[in-house]
Structure 1
């Protein structure tokens, strides 16, 4: 397909594994320690975090990462894990809430002030997050960036970091399960979500019709099918969470009006 840089079985993969293993263990350690002073950390959040980190690990190291170098289908499966499922699972683990209750009061206030800054408010605006997330994918697959990614270890790492970070920002901008400095209306978030899902589907069709540079048509068509249908499960969870929160927020008012 094209010349590949070494990202599996070498120093890059070792660094990735060390970082992910550290994150994998640090979260439950912090949760158990802080549970002595605060209420017990929910078990489901441990599971969300560990599964989310595992999804990142599967994408960046091991057989799936090696397969992604050889076949566009493997790459697209990794995209679904790294850019959609892992961000959702990690968002549901409420890492910022855990971080704030782990830090001392002064440091926690500094972090809170940072989250309230205009920069973070801009990044977590649903429209901004959608452009970074979906727009980044259009840039990756509709230009020669996809081919270039496998020729530079720096670019490879940067793009994969962006895919996860943009997916995480997109998720936390739509569903509020963690600390947030501001809240947008349900209607606004729902409209942005609908537009983003439509743009994601359109991109899958464009990949099917016009494969990225260096990708065989058969692989592109199969990968596009994975992108089109594979993300539906994560999208459905996002929709269910958003609708559930919306219902809980409005149902008490309806009951009050009736009485």
Structure 2
């Protein structure tokens, strides 16, 4: 019974990704047939993000990553950095609001404008949840504890996904409308801070052998730290490129508003 339970649990994240993807595509199909329709390239981004998550959540890969720190870092990059960026570009909240009946839409709008959402969707808060969560995981006994607890192991990966999504959304502030009106300059500063602190964490892991108490050799930890360092830089530079591309596509007047002295953190 115990083994069967863990076997079912191993498939749950993968099946949830499939379910969410089906719901997104079904809603996009309904919008595509109506006016003004739905841009199909957004479906492409969602499918790409879902594919990355499906690969990361494939049970055999999850089992491998559970005992291999390099594998864990590989999944961390897919789940917490690359897939969330794709999903954010797919504008799932906008699609949800277009699809839900009026009562459900009002509930979602109220949630998006709640104090809680305004707090977690702020770039600084998202930075603390995303990169700060990594410091807590790798510089404390939490990672070693996750190796002994399947539920904690999945909770860690769920945090990667949610925190990564919030951070990408907070930095881009589009295509789903952000609850904050923050300048491009401010969001770039937060993104550069994320790059610096993420790189520092990789150096701490490489130089001091974190996380400890896992049974991994120093060489193996250093290999994982290098994977985090360079892979994280690639993901964050990609996020910066997307941010600047979105800004350049805006009309000139709106660009000035984003960079002007009047736009400041709220």
TM above 0.5, yes or no, is yes
1:59 corresponds, among 56, 59, 64, to 56
Deviations 1:150-175 (A, max 9, x none): 11122112111111100100000000
Count of residue correspondences: 251
After the TM superposition, which residues 1-259 of structure 1 pair with which residues of structure 2 at under 5 Å, given as runs?
10-175=7-172, 176-211=174-209, 212-213=211-212, 214=214, 215-249=216-250, 251-252=252-253
TM-score of the two chains, using structure 2 as the length reference? 0.87
Kindly indicate whether the alpha-carbon contact (under 8 Å) linking 1:76 and 1:223 is maintained by their aligned counterparts in 2. yes
SS of the equivalent of 2:33 reads: coil
RMSD: 2.2
Kindly indicate whether the alpha-carbon contact (under 8 Å) linking 2:11 and 2:59 is maintained by their aligned counterparts in 1. no
Deviations 1:50-71 (A, max 9, x none): 1212222222224432321232
Question: How far apart, in 1, do the equivalents of 2:38 and 2:60 lie?
Answer: 33
SS of the equivalent of 1:38 reads: coil
Question: How far apart, in 1, do the equivalents of 2:254 and 2:19 lie?
Answer: 45
- What are the ranges of 5 or more consecutive residues in structure 2 without an aligned counterpart? 257-266
Kindly indicate whether the alpha-carbon contact (under 8 Å) linking 2:13 and 2:57 is maintained by their aligned counterparts in 1. yes
Q: 1:77 to 1:245 in 2, by over 3 A?
A: same
TM-score of the two chains, using structure 1 as the length reference? 0.90
Deviations 1:172-220 (A, max 9, x none): 0000221323321111111111111100000000111122121321111
SS of the equivalent of 1:222 reads: helix
| TM superposition shift of 1:250 | 7.1
Question: How far apart, in 2, do the equivalents of 1:224 and 1:77 lie?
Answer: 11
Q: 1:185 to 1:254 in 2, by over 3 A?
A: closer
- What are the ranges of 5 or more consecutive residues in structure 1 without an aligned counterpart? none
Question: How far apart, in 2, do the equivalents of 1:12 and 1:254 lie?
Answer: 47
| TM superposition shift of 1:249 | 4.5
Runs of 4+ in 1 over 3 A off after TM superposition: 5-9, 245-255
Pick which of 219-228 and 53-62 moved more: 53-62
Question: How far apart, in 2, do the equivalents of 1:27 and 1:253 lie?
Answer: 30
